[in-house]
A and B are shown apart, each in its own frame.
Chain A
């Protein structure tokens, strides 16, 4: 369990329960526990009801991410991120049609409508996988994401649509958003810049 992976996982979750961190990292609970213990003793993580970064931990993570970024082929990564923006627009539109219908909350009473919206998720998934593959060539750490997205997609297909948008759990939207956050950071941008430029709309 390397330091960067663990710190970044905690940062993306904000506040996270111990059991959930091992689950989201898809790693052995004992191994994660000992890594958490080590980083807590080093003053990088703070333990309470939940686990979160200390200010030192945040600074350390920023440093590690900057080091990681220096090893990237910036141009190739920017290209992958630009392609992601296109799929991201489609995903966002799908999510808002799932949640809203004619400006009102979708009451999910129209199975045909819901099925049509969900049908588009497969297209999004197929489109994002190759983009993710080329981003992973630059940033191997991202190889965890295809499996996490696929796991959420399978649950949605099995009929449990809470795995599409629910926060806290690793729903498709949660994983997608964390992935987007990784890509923004690795491209040397910030979410505020991206939001102002309209790429997170």
Chain B
């Protein structure tokens, strides 16, 4: 039985043995906390870490994971017991920001986020703009502008309705700011046991008793009129691994607008032009965080009236190509050792690199004609046909045919069989086109949107069914090789050095062996 489990059992078996959840369960994330990731959650831990470096992160406090675990274990009064402490930390946020919660003249609004030690789907993610009622809206209106205040309030109400109340139309969004705060915290706790989160933990063999932390943070406003906005920065290119920061900037917008994909973002260069001082500060912060985190980061930031705020950082997702190149680069500058370099490249990365695929450089240089849902994996090229009979005739003449339809039905199956890939305008992951394409092993991109069939008809295109993308022209597929691709050869040399005498073993096998050895060391 592990320690977390033992702790959990002591808590539920004896009322008297309950630890005193007082002062120590609501923690200011001001850089001074020494608590581990398991207590503060991922986000809380990250905020505390950034504040300890003196980086500009909006002030925040957090309810540690134990509070959630106790609530879920049946302790219904735990939130009552810690509430005085929540109020005390709220006063602290007010003094840090020179704003006040629940009234003007400078109202403090809050975001509430979940944060388990490990992120998982199905958890309540974020509620923004908490703490707004009629009086606060008035105050915001005279401080900024009535449009801004009304926009903020309607964003809050929509988000609270959707996320906290779960679109239950019989429930009203509460007016009292403190009731809003408490409702959001309770909703975060409850989301720990949502079916999706529970299924995720079961699938990954994670303990269900840990609970989640709750981060309560002062809002900053990217949607003020002047010198404001929000964006995402990747400290290096996560597709190629090239040493160039990449990102998106959306002036006059709030955090969720970038992620939602419903707005057209500008490239990061736009921020460099608009606000060079903020841009330089952001780049310096990214460099510092990358050096300390020893990895490429994905940083969400906002700018409020010319002042930079870092909202969230996490390790960036990357392509297999970038995984190899970045592991080698970070090792070359001495930030990670040989073993860590091997940890950062999985056997699956190598497997993907060794099979023919669209290299990131080819992909970046190509013209994207359409995007949709990745329905069936594989990359292939050919000429687009929208008419089944014409497609069949062309295939009979040994042409490489891509069938492009609004949607497919059984009478298209002959055409699908003759085609090398399938693209549709309408349809989801279980549409006829998706099901049949997977069954007959053809790459497919579905649900690309109205007008795609007419736009592609007759063109020479390349379909990437794994990424859900359709490119102009016939793109070349290439594979890496352990012998001829310098980056892969370099990684293999490191693996041989770490593992000892394994001269002719393929890299994939060495990486697997390395992982097994590490696991047995730990276990």
Contacts and interface: CB of A to CB of B under 8 A. Distances in A.
Contacts of B407: 191-192, 195, 200
Interface string A97-113: 00110100100000000
Interface in A1-45: 11-15
Interface stretch (A64-72, A135-143, A144-152, A174-182): A174-182
A192 B388 contact: no
Contact of B377 (A12, A105, A192, A195): A105
A96 B439 CA distance: 11
Interface in B423-464: 426-432, 434-436, 438-440
Nearest to A178: B410
Nearest to A162: B439
Interface stretch (B218-226, B412-420, B502-510, B511-519): B412-420
Contacts of B392: 15
B435 A181 contact: no
A92 interface: yes
B427 A167 contact: no
B406 interface: yes
Contacts of B432: 177, 200
B149 to A, nearest CB: 36
B273 interface: no
A165 B435 contact: yes
A174 B406 CA distance: 19
A14 B427 contact: no
B411 interface: yes
A201 interface: yes
A100 B438 contact: yes
A167 B431 contact: no
A14 B417 CA distance: 12
B426 A96 contact: no
Contact of B430 (A11, A174, A191, A201): A201
B426 A167 contact: no
A92 B413 contact: no
A181 B406 contact: no
B14 interface: no
Interface residues of A, number: 30
Interface in B55-109: none
A166 B411 contact: no
Contact of A192 (B406, B412, B413): B406
B439 A181 contact: no
Contacts of B260: none
A13 B411 contact: yes
B441 to A, nearest CB: 9
B13 interface: no
Contact of B416 (A166, A167, A192): A167
A100 to B, nearest CB: 7
A196 B407 CA distance: 10
Interface in A74-122: 92-93, 95-96, 99-100, 102, 105
Contact of B413 (A11, A168, A195, A196): A168
Interface string B284-321: 00000000000000000000000000000000000000
A190 B380 CA distance: 31
Contact of B435 (A13, A173, A196): A173
A13 B417 CA distance: 13
A12 B427 contact: no
Contacts of A174: 410
Contacts of B415: 14
Contacts of A177: 409-410, 432
A200 B411 contact: no
Interface residues of B, number: 28
Given A96-B435, A105-B438, A167-B436, A12 B410 contact: yes
A90 to B, nearest CB: 11
Q: Which of B392, B431, B439 has the most chain A CB within a 10 Å cutoff?
A: B439
A87 to B, nearest CB: 14
Contacts of A200: 407, 427, 431-432
A13 B431 contact: no
Given A96-B435, A99-B439, A165-B435, A14 B429 contact: no
B430 A93 contact: yes
Given A165-B439, A167-B417, A167-B440, A96 B429 contact: yes
B411 A14 contact: yes
Nearest to A196: B426
B413 A167 contact: yes
Given A14-B388, A96-B435, A99-B438, A181 B409 contact: yes
Contacts of A14: 388, 410-415
A15 B409 CA distance: 12
A154 to B, nearest CB: 20
A168 to B, nearest CB: 6
Nearest to B418: A15
A135 B415 CA distance: 31
A27 to B, nearest CB: 19
Interface string B363-398: 000000000000001000000000010001000000
Contacts of A196: 426
B429 to A, nearest CB: 6
Nearest to B427: A195
A35 B97 CA distance: 84
Contacts of A165: 435, 439
Nearest to A200: B431
Contacts of A195: 406-407, 426-427, 431
Contacts of B427: 195, 200-201
Contacts of B436: 167
A100 B431 CA distance: 13
Contacts of B203: 102
Nearest to A50: B414
25 contacts: A12-B410, A14-B410, A14-B411, A14-B412, A14-B413, A14-B415, A15-B414, A50-B414, A92-B430, A96-B429, A96-B435, A99-B439, A100-B429, A165-B439, A166-B439, A167-B416, A167-B417, A173-B435, A173-B439, A181-B409, A191-B407, A195-B406, A195-B427, A200-B407, A201-B427
Interface of B: 203, 377, 388, 392, 406-407, 409-417, 426-432, 434-436, 438-440
Top 7 nearest A-B pairs (CB, nearest first) are A14-B411, A201-B428, A92-B430, A195-B426, A15-B414, A96-B430, A167-B413
Given A15-B411, A196-B426, 16 more contacts: A12-B410, A14-B388, A14-B411, A14-B415, A15-B414, A92-B435, A95-B430, A96-B429, A96-B430, A100-B438, A105-B377, A165-B439, A173-B439, A178-B410, A191-B407, A192-B406
